[in-house]
Amino acid sequence: MDRRWTQVVAAAFFINTSYGTLSYSFSVLVTDKAAGGEFGTTTVSIGFGLALLISGAAALVAGTIADLSGSRRLMAAGSVAGALGLVLLSQCQSGWQMLLVMAIFIGPAMAATFYEPVYVLMNRWFDASSRPRAYGVLTLVSGFSITIFTPLTNALVEGAGWRVAVACLGGILLVIGVGIPLLVLHEPRAPVSGHRTSAAAMLRQTFEGIREGNARFWTFTLAFFAANAAFSGFSFHMVAQLESRGFAPADVANVVAVAGILSLPARLILPALSGRAPTSALLPACVALLGLAAIIASIAGAWWQVWIYIIVFGAVFGALYPLRALATSERFSGEYYGRLLGTQALFVAVSRALGPAAIGAFVGAGGSYVFSFRVAAAILFASTIVIAAVLRLPPAGEAVLDAPSLTVR
């Protein structure tokens, strides 16, 4: 078997663990039976949002490190920071301590252990023709993270208390997060040499990479920022919106769980399909279908309409981020790929925080979910047009060219 595919699966298990321990676990930790009951759900939510924003800023530096020094040690170091942060979180006695830990440890750990460093590795493992299938396998296997770690965290919290649960998650992240990058994954080519490693030099390299983004890159990034803010906003509030229309909370939770299951085939099929159909068509189609889902949700008054909404939403939302990474890889891959991905990660992080906050503030001020979901749909439809136009431009004259990948067998 080609060694690269073994490493793709290993990288997927790494992301499974990092997302599960540093992200999905907080859907349980925010509840009253866990840290939310001690520090308040608002404080825990703010802490998680703060970590998310800091991860976006840290992704700029993480992308530079991945470009210049490789991803393996970055991923391992991020896992150590994340594990230490979780252990410290288990010892926090007040809300301000929790916020400090989330900002100093969890946020930077997210930047070093989520998808972007792995995408840089995969760009070196595979040439352009093989990347779609590889991205599909990566996102399919890593898509089980929420299925594994949400019930695991819940069981640990109920069985041993939230503090022991968080410490256990830190131990899991340390073992898997350090073991896989250092023992299983291999850098397919030597990192770029000749660069000073001082903090000042690293910052210069970071800004050099940002400057390599041309007009097409920035237009695409800003259009995706708008689309992701709209998508994150209505998806975050989908349960509350359906409940506000009179649907029973337990039933709503069940159908939303189905959306997660429906996303699994799309995680594999849609990125892999980009080897046959252009990403310039697939990504805009997914964004447009998310806009359609938001419209259906805003008018759903019967269960059959809810199911149509869930089917449309579930069929495409899991492919949104891998298709974005593929589109970036196809048009902006090369020496600065990690830094450009890091730049996009900053915008993605801000949009993931901005969308839910904007809808929440609007509804809290007396606005309706119906109007806010329709605004989200309008933004998604407008973003579809811009993304499609940008991705269909001919590649000639691009400042950032695709660099050849080296095969590891």
pLDDT in tens, the chain (409 residues): 577 888 889 999 999 999 999 988 887 888 788 898 899 877 888 888 889 899 988 988 888 888 888 889 999 999 999 999 999 999 999 999 999 999 999 999 999 999 889 988 888 888 877 888 888 888 778 877 877 888 898 889 989 999 999 999 999 999 999 999 998 888 766 455 445 556 666 667 777 767 777 888 999 999 999 999 999 888 878 877 888 888 876 677 677 767 777 777 777 777 767 667 788 889 999 999 999 999 999 998 899 999 999 889 888 887 888 888 888 888 876 777 778 888 888 899 899 888 888 888 888 788 888 999 999 999 999 999 999 999 988 654 444 444 434 443 3
Residue 200: predicted pLDDT: 67
- DSSP E strand boundaries for 35-116: none
**Distance of alpha carbon 26 from alpha carbon 39, whole angstroms:** 13
247/199 same-domain check: no
**Same domain assignment for residues 196 and 287:** no
pLDDT for the residue 339: 80
Q: Is residue 405 part of a domain?
A: no
CA distance 181 to 10: 9
Q: Per the domain annotation, does 50 fall within a domain? A: yes
For residue 403, being part of any structural domain is answered with no
**Residue 373 and residue 285 share a domain:** yes
Question: What residues make up the domain containing 323?
Answer: 212-396
HSE-up (13 A, CA, CB side) for residue 351? 23
Confidence (pLDDT) at 398: 46
Helix (H) or strand (E) holding 98: helix 95-101
What 3-state DSSP class applies to 234?
A: helix
Is 404 domain-assigned? no
- Residue 409: what pLDDT? 38
For residues 256 and 238, the answer to whether their CB atoms sit within 8 Å is yes
91 and 239 part of one domain: no
**Does residue 152 share a domain with residue 135?**
yes
- Please, what's the b/e burial string for 149-187 (b: 16 or more CB within 10 A of its CB; e: otherwise)? bbebbbebbeeeebbebbbbbbebbbebbbbbbeeebeb
* pLDDT value for 107: 94
Q: In which element (H, E) is residue 51 found?
A: helix 41-69
Domain boundary, last residue among 178, 210, 242:
210
**Is residue 227 one of the residues assigned to a domain?**
yes
Asked whether residue 252 falls in the same domain as residue 179, the answer is: no
Instruction: Tell me, yes or no, whether 123 and 4 share the same domain.
Output: yes
Q: What's the total number of domains in the chain?
A: 2
Q: Is residue 401 part of a domain?
A: no
Q: Within 10 A of 227 (CB to CB), how many other CB atoms are there?
A: 30
Q: Which residue carries 């019967």 as its tokens? A: 302
Which pLDDT value is given to residue 274? 64
Same domain, 192 and 218: no
**Domain end: 154, 186, 210, which one?**
210
408 within some domain: no
CATH number of the domain where residue 14 is located: 1.20.1250.20
Indicate if 204 and 216 belong to the same structural domain. Answer: no
Q: Is residue 41 domain-shared with residue 185, that is, in the same domain?
A: yes
Q: Which of 210, 235, 267 is the last residue of a domain?
A: 210
Same domain, 192 and 305: no
Rounded Cα–Cα distance for residues 11 and 3 (Å): 12
Q: Which of 135, 198, 155, 195 is nearest to 333 (CA)?
A: 135
Rounded Cα–Cα distance for residues 110 and 299 (Å): 36
Claim to verify: residue 228 and residue 186 sit in the same structural domain: no
pLDDT, residue 400, reads 44
